[in-house]
Amino acid sequence: MTELDESTLALLQSFGFEEDRFHTLRQRASAQGGLESNAITDTISPPTANDLGALPAPNTQEYQRCTEAGVAAIREGHVASVVLAGGMATRFGGVVKATVEVHEGLSFLEMKLRDAERMATVSHGRVPVFFMTSFATHSEVTAAIGNRSNERVQAHSFPQYISLRLDTKGEIYRDTQGEVSPYAPGHGDLPFALVRSGLLQKFRDQGGRVICMSNVDNLTATLDPALIGWHLLRDHEMTVEVTAKHEVDKGGAPAWVGDNLEIVEGFRFPNDFDQDSIPVFNTNTLMIDTASIRDDLELDFFAVRKKVGQDTVVQFERLVGQLTAHLSSAFIEVPREGVQGRFHPVKDPDELKRRLPEILAALEARGIV
């Protein structure tokens, strides 16, 4: 990496740049011209109705059993909230999304902390909250966390990894000013960055059993004792929340790949596979047993072509949903809309304005606002 200046090298070192892996990926880009296929070649088939779980109806004994198991786990300090707050801070005009005001002075970050505070209080327990940041968001998110920790909620930040974009020949990309272009290589960094941070081991040492992961911009993906209990009462390392798919939805979905039911990202389905045959898709809200999180999991790096100005670049990303290919996983269908809905992502200011009334109605029903 002798072609990089000292400030770039310092940035890369600060955020866990993996030089050996980077050189391997450069060779892939050089050999394929950035055009390699990500499509799965194994047999793929849609899930059946029996493959997707559902919470028991409220006011039933089974629902109560799930809720009691979840409340007990939170009370004993077995549950942590992990919030994805990384990325490149581009969707809100260069402002870090986690710090954007949502309602009456409360930011996305503060709403997530309120959710944890609410659940810790009603359970008479404590809930650590771990925000996964990126080089583009770490300082702002860490500053926003400030001294918000208390006896109920302990807030921490930890950064995901960093890499450099390539041109389609596998060379380090430089813009018209001669500057390199760093990027955050996807939320698949989660297990590796969490181990690297030391926070996971500390949580385990304190009895931590499960992390509940959600996107910072999906405020209705709140901590739910019934869902947590549903996960804990089953013999799976991981539970994925899925919800009804609309025509415009893009993203991953559960599918059988050979003899394993796992999340398959949209760009990995073969062209002749009818993605509409799967009526649900992945919300990127997960529960994972801490004992299953380790840094030797082999998640793939997928070549993705992007536009930087007028230039086409290649970046390699890994996806957290691919953990389902390695861990025993359950899939539970959750409501999408209404006060019980759990999928209201906000990608830009216009979407926040449009979705806010429904988001606030759900958060008010849950006692968060």
- Residue-wise pLDDT for 195-209, tens only, equals 999 999 999 999 999
**The pTM is what?**
0.96
pLDDT at residue 2 is higher than 80: no
Contact predicate 165/183, CB 8 Å: yes
63-97 pLDDT, tens digit per residue, is 999 999 999 999 999 999 999 999 887 878 789 99
| pLDDT the model gives residue 36 | 83
Q: What is the pLDDT of residue 77?
A: 97
Element spanning 337, H or E: none
Q: Read off the tokens for 298.
A: 């082999």
What residue ranges do the domains of the chain occupy? 6-365
Q: Are 177 and 170 in contact (CB under 8 A)?
A: no
Q: Which CATH class is domain 6-365?
A: alpha beta
Cα 117 to the center of its chain, rounded Å:
21
Q: What are phi and psi of 110, to 5 degrees?
A: -65, -35
For 22-34, the pLDDT digits (tens) are 999 999 999 887 7
257-314 confidence digits (pLDDT tens): 999 999 999 999 999 999 999 999 999 999 999 999 999 999 999 999 999 999 999 9
DSSP element (H, E) containing 308: strand 302-308
Crossing angle of the two packed helices 61-75 and 225-232, in degrees rounded to 10: 90
Mode of pairing for the β-strands spanning 329-333 and 238-244? parallel
Residue 271 to residue 325: CA distance in whole angstroms: 21
Do 151 and 126 form a contact (C-beta atoms < 8 A)? yes
